[in-house]
Structure 1
Amino acid sequence: MKLISWNVNGLRACVRKGFLDYFKEQDADIFCIQETKLQSGQIELELEGYHQYWNYALKKGYSGTAVFTKQEPLTVTYGVGESESEDEGRILTLEFPEFYLVNVYAPNAQRDLARLPVRLDWERRMKDYLRQLKSSKSVILCGDLNVAHQDIDIRNFKSNVGNSGFTVEERGEFTALLDEGFIDSFRHLNPVVEGAYTWWSYMRDVRARNIGWRIDYFLISDCLLPSLKAADIHAEVLGSDHCPIVLEMDFA
């Protein structure tokens, strides 16, 4: 089974930059996107063979998640019950026979860390939610988690310590999530690979020089480790300030 996750930073703009070409070329079983930045009726995607599920933010041109899947899910859940995350369209959960898929666009703490308390509260609610899901079935969590976990996951880690996405608090919450029985699929398979990033600033030449952060993830329940086959980063794919990430699982 092939799964892809991509923060498209505005789906309509990404479509103009080749999203559908990449989508068709990859032929993924499940394709998750974050930061769709649109409301119902603002785009019509012809994705033959796929079921489409959307979680829109109430605020126009903001946030939002979607999942396109060949296999129809058993259930679909929007948010986890807290009104703010539901209003912002940040969480979309699909239940399949083998696992729960949770597609996430985590809140940004903002440059001045003004939203760090909101972010940390969201983290704790997510952890409780994932713990609840994991008690009944394996979980695959994917999306833009807006945190670089380790020094190796960011190009200039020393100068970014304490900045949004690289605070002690956010990194600690990520560690706590892994301690709940989750595995960072890419880092598990590539423990010492440097320069593997998924987001780059739009500032001049930053992406060309690979000055980036790895903030997009596929986390899997530890019990799914025997089924993990591959985890890749398609850094060459443009269309957004993020690039797609890929997970391959074998449930045979």
Structure 2
Amino acid sequence: MRIISWNACSVMKEKKDLFLMSCLENKIDIFCIQETWLKPHIKPEFHGYNVIRQDRIHTSKGGVLIGIKQNFHFTEIELELDEEVGDRIELMAVKLVLPGGKGLYIVNIYNPSGSNGIIGQIIEEVYQQIPNSDDIIILGDFNAHSNLWCRCNVINKSGRSIEATLLSTNMILSTPKGLPTRINPQTGDSTTIDLVMANPRISCSLVVDILQDLVLHSDHNPVIVEIGSKYPTGINERRDKFRTGNVNWDDLAAKLKDVNIRAVIEGEAEIDKKIEAFQDHLVCTAKEIEPFGPVGFSKRKKSAWWNEECLNAKKEVCQKRMLYRR
């Protein structure tokens, strides 16, 4: 499983498309964005992901968002926090439902000011609300400076607050020290203010790094969190697929000719909506001809050039090797 955390400084127009393309290229399952700068009337599409968001209503900028790939089961979690938190911290949380009913909580936090001394208390309150049987990953832009994770001699109130929380709880900071998560556009100096922390059980499975060399027009580098393969995420569970062994391709082609594709792709709808409608037409047409049901995943990757002739040649090689060994 791969998670990205990124302070986007707006996800409008081309920046959103570039980020989504990067997510697809890097096989991202979940993304957490801070500073979306979105308002309720602005509704960008993130094709392939279910998106929940919390916009900053009364002032400019701000806002947090979580996108979850559509093959995951999840619920949005309402956390019980002090009333003053809403004015000083922006956060939201989801719970992923993993095999066996186990839960993985993803908490996305944006702390607008490094002088905010209650951020550590908020992290602790969130952590205490998670059942001991479940796991939690807290990540985001904390604007916190500390010698524990920064290669600098500066420490601010947010940094001291998070330090105290890490010492008073058993949470583990997973961000490597000195990871350049933000680049100062004026001086070129790097700081580590985008952090990842987790409970001990899952922290040993986390690898945290940044995605570099991406032109995303933000002073923050996207932070990528990879969860090790031994952690039971349930991504590779069995799912429904088309069985293409005995497809009558002529019948399928004939039915597709009857579909008015031009009517689907023309019009004033957004391109994501057109792609989705086109896919729905293909799937519905294919289901009329081809059986659809659970098919297990194969660990061996199938090559496009592999055919029956290659298979027979491999069998012959194996037989002759056995004769040689005798």
- Provide the TM-score with structure 1 as the length reference: 0.77
Asked whether 1:225 is paired with 2:199, we answer no
Separation of aligned partners in 2, 1:74 and 1:31: 14
Separation of aligned partners in 2, 1:45 and 1:67: 13
Asked whether 1:77 is paired with 2:77, we answer yes
Amino acid at match of 1:131: Q
Q: 1:100 deviation in Å?
A: 0.8
Q: Give the structure 1 partner of residue 184 of structure 2.
A: 201
Separation of aligned partners in 2, 1:57 and 1:40: 9
| Among 112, 122, 127, the residue aligned to 2:124 | 127
Change (3 A) 1:41 1:175: same
Structure 1: segments with no counterpart, 5+ residues = 110-115
SS in 1 for 2:213: coil
Change (3 A) 1:87 1:52: farther
Amino acid at match of 1:244: P
Considering only aligned residues, what root-mean-square deviation do their CA atoms show, in Å? 2.5
Amino acid at match of 2:214: V
Give runs of aligned pairs for residues 1-252 of structure 1, distance below 5 A. 1-12=1-12, 15=15, 18-48=18-48, 50-70=49-69, 71-78=71-78, 80-86=80-86, 90-97=90-97, 98-109=103-114, 116=115, 119-133=116-130, 135=132, 137-150=134-147, 153-154=150-151, 157-158=152-153, 161=154, 166-167=155-156, 169-179=157-167, 180-187=169-176, 194=178, 196-203=179-186, 206-207=187-188, 211-228=189-206, 230-238=207-215, 239-250=217-228, 251-252=231-232
Amino acid at match of 2:41: G
Change (3 A) 1:174 1:121: closer
Of the two structures, which has the highest relative contact order with CA contacts closer than 8 Å and spacing of 6 or more? 1
Structure 2: segments with no counterpart, 5+ residues = 98-102, 233-326
Q: Identity percentage over the alignment?
A: 23
Contact 1:101 1:140 in 2 (8 A): yes
Separation of aligned partners in 2, 1:88 and 1:137: 28
Deviation per CA, 1:216-241: give whole Å up to 9, x if none.
Answer: 1221111113423x211123223211
Separation of aligned partners in 1, 2:149 and 2:129: 31
Deviation per CA, 1:40-96: give whole Å up to 9, x if none.
Answer: 231422422x11111111124321110111144542135644445435771110012
Separation of aligned partners in 2, 1:245 and 1:176: 24
Change (3 A) 1:14 1:80: farther
Contact 2:38 2:61 in 1 (8 A): yes
Change (3 A) 1:45 1:181: same
Amino acid at match of 2:76: V
Contact 2:182 2:192 in 1 (8 A): yes
Q: Which runs of 4+ in 1 moved over 3 A?
A: 71-74, 78-89
* Structure ID, larger Rg: 2
Contact 2:119 2:162 in 1 (8 A): no
Amino acid at match of 1:233: I
Separation of aligned partners in 2, 1:99 and 1:64: 23
- Provide the TM-score with structure 2 as the length reference: 0.61
